[in-house]
Structure 1
Amino acid sequence: MLAFTHLSFVFFFLLSFCASVMRSSPVTMADIDIEADSQVLGVIAIARHGDRFRYFQNPDTYKGGPTETTALGEVESHQLGSILRSEYLSPTSPSYIDGMRSDLVDNRELKVLVKNGGEGTVIFDSAIALLQGLFPPTPNNKITLANGTEVLAPLGGYQYIPVETVEPSNDRSLESWTDCPAFEKHIKEFYASDEFKQKEKDAQSFFHAVKDFVFDIPTTLKNAWNLYDFINSQLTHNQTYAYRLPPTLIETARGLADFHENGVFSDKESGGIGNIAGRTILHTILKSLERVAFNDDPLQFELIETGYQPFISLFHELEIVKENPDLQAIPNFASAFVIELRRGSPPDVRDFLRFRFKNGTGKGFKTLYVYGTHADIPLTEFIYKAKGGEIANNRQWAEVCAGNSVTLTEQFMDEVSYAAKHQTVSTITLALVAFIGLYVIRSVFFRAAKVTGEKIRNVRGRNVRLEGEEVLNVEVMTAQVLPDEKIRRI
């Protein structure tokens, strides 16, 4: 009976997968250069916030302290928004998103998610500044009243764009590394590694030299992030400090911070706990790609404003760092990782993905390749490979953080639940066909059992129930599971 249940799950999953493929154009086996003139259907942009004042992070738990955005940070984010506009909303650009309105924002075509966690309002402020650059004020943002009066929106036609904040208290998709026991264990193991100890030994001369420039901050490799962030913030905003600081110290501090953060927010294996920051945001990416790929969904541009942590984890989880070792580092302020959904050129008109990265506002976009490929990857292939590492909801996050593995059945049921709410009529039709197929398989199964003399009782069997409430084995003070009604699918 257990084998039959697993077979049913696999059968339904295959049909659901076929349904997602059918929403795209027919698949051909032509091997052509799809990077030449493919058409951009939509974009998912993951952006890091702009400059802010010093941000302290506990090196053991990664809980952050208070900080504030700066005018420089808002300018950087606004500039990034303008760059994204010229790249994807300008009809003369080769990467123009086909059919997307670029003068006045259509809120059905644009979705904005903003991390609202340890950094406070910094990321929200950066998102607003970026959107001002993406959709600047325009004199076309006006209406004419019934009496003939023409009214222009404030600030010269400012465009007000809805923003959805994502709080870790009810949605772990954008800040999954805090209050996570398994991740804290991963951090401790990194600190105890021979590589870490050797690196700290080699850096003793730096720690001695920098002591007079960081005041009461502990000068240890474990505290490398806080050392670098303090020095960098003072160097940017304190002229007296900038005049006194020896020029080589900031470079060494940055190198040690890159080593530290890359070790914390990465894992040797795809799907490892070290990649948790990338694995939770990966689910958001996959669901958004499904929306953009579906012709009847108007979504064409999604902005995810966040911190630096998901960048490092995603670059590892998607195996980008294997050919780009320079990305094993903290991305600069106002960096952007862009995923383009493209329609291939005839005769191969499948949907493909192109990945591009811009490290801060001073450099151009660089094309990256995932999972060892050297060209744009088919959407269906990417989904197939990425599914194994994603963390799809708060319940799975809690299980992972408790050190438990998520079962195939749980993940399957979550996918079915999502499909029931969001999929098309054709998908639902295929689901019905799946259940009919299951009935046929069941009939064959029972007939074969009778032939071999097996005695099969009630198909449903008997459910074994334990006394008391079912609880998840998670530390209550660290990784709590929210009630179902408070868990929003991510």
Structure 2
Amino acid sequence: MADASDIDAEAVADSQVLGVIVIARNGDRVEYYQDPKTYEGGITETTALGEVESHQLGAVLRSEYLSPTSPSYIDGMRSDLVDNSEIKVRVKNGGEGTVIFDSAIALLQGLYPPNPNNKIVLANETVVTAPLNGYQYVPVETVEPSNDRSLESWTDCPAFNKHVREFYASEEFKQKEKDAQPFFRSVKDFVFGRPTTLENALYDFMNSQLIHNKTYAYRLPPTLLETARGLADFHENGVFSDKQSGGIGNIAGRTMLHTVLRALERVAFNDDPLQFMLIETGYQPFISLFHELEIVKENPELQAIPNFASAFAIELRRGSPPDVRDFLRFRFKNGTGGSFKTIYVYGRHADIPLTEFIYKSKGGVISSNKQWAEVCGRSSFQGLDLGFTDKISDAATYHPYYSAVLAFLSFLALFAIRGVFVRLVKAVGQKVQNLRGKKVRLEGEEILNVDAASAQVLPDEKITRL
């Protein structure tokens, strides 16, 4: 008898792609320094190489998901001219500054290249083509950590800072640093006074110099960079992971999952046009997600920093009859080289049913700024504490259950208001009927022959009928 995994694999062999959520890392940039204790970032800038890398990733995504001849083509999604109702873009706008935003724009240029058909005909029959031979403009939502922690949850988080300190104090870290002493002695002449310790990972500086500084590239022994990369992978994997699912070390992935689940919810809803979601971010959520979803158990090589312009694609697929449930397929592309590789979550060797994925992942999801503050051990969050930016708008507008609840509550509110209004009108009407044309004494001083207008405004407690 076939097990459940075999049945699921058969069900999605010829599955239909309904939509995809792509988490993409930024392209190349100059050196980026992060405080090793707080992970507050310094200043960095995009490079032309980084823009090219992201543009290439966009072109790959176009060939994978927007080409009707591709086996992963998103069914029914427009590929010639962008339909802004079908695509949503969220970009982290915290650490690394404009680099991630620039990478997102370059990626979108590859995903939807200029098209001369991007034009309009005016009333006077003048034909106007968009600039740059039909450049296509895709709206981008920047996510600011000052009011939305969903894409940068590891900074200003006391519990995460404690996790980092504990990792540095662990026997594993101390032993790795001890073993790396020969490297630290050899690398002193190539880091120009920077601290040669494991806590202060040197790879980012060395790699940036190797790419952009010809003199440095000619002098640097290749083995030093390889060792630096290995130490940096150990360092960042230890910081952005946790031994427990739902642990504080996975916070970068746990907040990212909120955005992913919301997007899947929209794509799965037939009346919602969304089919492609791009989340442009740094390297941190990749490591955390790979741990939180238990991907690293069978792919230990992913316990490392993903290369520039990497992409993690989550495809929502509808199974073939008789099993027409929605399934998820996970694919990863590490940088500009190679192609997408299918990877599996939670130890399954097949695409996972959407309902099963939601059930297994929801325990670790952080879905609001308030919950983030609680997990981080903060008494409050200085900002809009109404949940992550995409939570309220997406849930209220697109989720059928939330919409039904809101409609029902609106009906109750209107019904209650109507009842109050009717009772008020009846009371005023009765008052007018009782007083109109009658003589009354107002506070013992004045006698009035009350008309209809006066009857409505005379205070009851101050009048005496005669």
TM-score past 0.5 threshold: yes
Corresponding residue number in structure 1 for 2:173? 196
Corresponding residue of 2:62 = 85
Matches within 5 A, 1:217-232: 217-224=194-201, 227-232=202-207
Give the letter aligned to residue 18 of structure 2: L
CA distance in 2, matches of 1:139, 1:174: 35
Q: How many residues in Structure 1 have an aligned counterpart in Structure 2?
A: 396
Alpha-carbon distance in structure 1 between the residues aligned to 2:262 and 2:112: 24
Tell me: CA distance 1:419–1:158, structure 2 relative to 1, closer, same or farther (3 Å): closer
- Aligned match of 1:287: 262
Partner of 2:421: none
Q: Which amino acid aligns with 2:293?
A: L
Runs (4+) of structure 1 exceeding 4 A deviation are: 29-32, 414-422, 429-432
Q: What is the CA distance between 1:361 and its match in structure 2? A: 1.0
Choose which of 367, 377, 388 in structure 2 pairs with 1:402.
377
> Partners of 1:278 and 1:34 in 2: how far apart?
29
1:186 aligns with 2:169: no
Decide which moves more: 31-40 or 392-401. Answer: 31-40
**AA in 2 matched with 1:335:** S
Which of 75, 89, 95 pairs up with 2:72? 95
Whole-Å separation in 2 of the counterparts to 1:283 and 1:167: 16
C-alpha distance in structure 1 between counterparts of 2:392 and 2:115, whole Å: 43
One of 232, 236, 239 as aligned partner of 2:211: 236
Instruction: Write the distance in 2 (CA, Å) between the matches of 1:165 and 1:137.
Output: 23
The 5-angstrom pairing of residues 45-84 of structure 1 reads 45-84=22-61
Q: Which amino acid aligns with 2:44?
A: T
Residue of structure 1 equivalent to 2:273: 298
Unaligned runs of 5+ in 2: 1-5, 380-385, 409-466
What is the CA distance between 1:216 and its match in structure 2? Answer: 1.5
Determine the C-alpha separation between the residues in 1 that align with 2:11 and 2:193.
55
Query: Pick from 166, 170, 193: which aligns with 2:147?
Result: 170
Amino acid of the residue matched to residue 384 of structure 1? Y
Paired residue secondary structure (1:312): helix
In structure 2, the residue matched to 1:319 is: 294
Give the greater-gyration-radius structure (CA).
2
Greater relative contact order (Cα < 8 A, sep 6+) = 1
CA deviations over 1:256-313 (Å, ceiling 9, x no partner): 0000000000000110000000000100000010000000000000000000000000
Q: Does 1:108 align with 2:85?
A: yes
Task: Give the CA deviation at 1:180.
Answer: 0.4
Of 310, 322, 333, which aligns to 1:347?
Answer: 322
CA contact 1:65–1:118 (8 Å) conserved in 2: yes
> Shift in Å at residue 34 of structure 1?
3.2
Q: Secondary structure at the match of 2:186?
A: helix
Residue of structure 2 equivalent to 1:424: 400
2:360 counterpart residue number = 385
CA offsets 1:69-124 (integer angstroms, 9 cap, x no match): 00000000000000000000000000000000000000000000000011010000
State the secondary structure of the residue aligned to 1:391. coil
Give the distance between the partners of 2:265 and 2:143, measured in 1 at CA: 20
Post-superposition offset of 1:423: 2.8
TM-superposed CA distance for 1:31, in Å, is 4.9
- Could you list the runs of 5+ residues in structure 1 that have no partner in the other structure? 1-28, 405-409, 433-490
Tell me the CA shift for residue 417 of structure 1: 11
TM-superposed deviation, 1:420? 5.6
User: 2:188 and 2:308 mapped to 1: Cα distance?
Assistant: 26
Cα 1:252/1:152, change in 2 over 3 Å: same
* Contact 1:47 1:335 survives alignment (8 Å): yes
What TM-score comes out, normalization by structure 2 length?
A: 0.82
Shift of residue 428, structure 1, vs aligned partner: 2.7
User: Which amino acid in the other structure matches residue 266 of structure 2?
Assistant: R
Could you tell me how far 1:166 is from its partner in structure 2? 0.3
Q: Does 1:274 align with 2:249?
A: yes
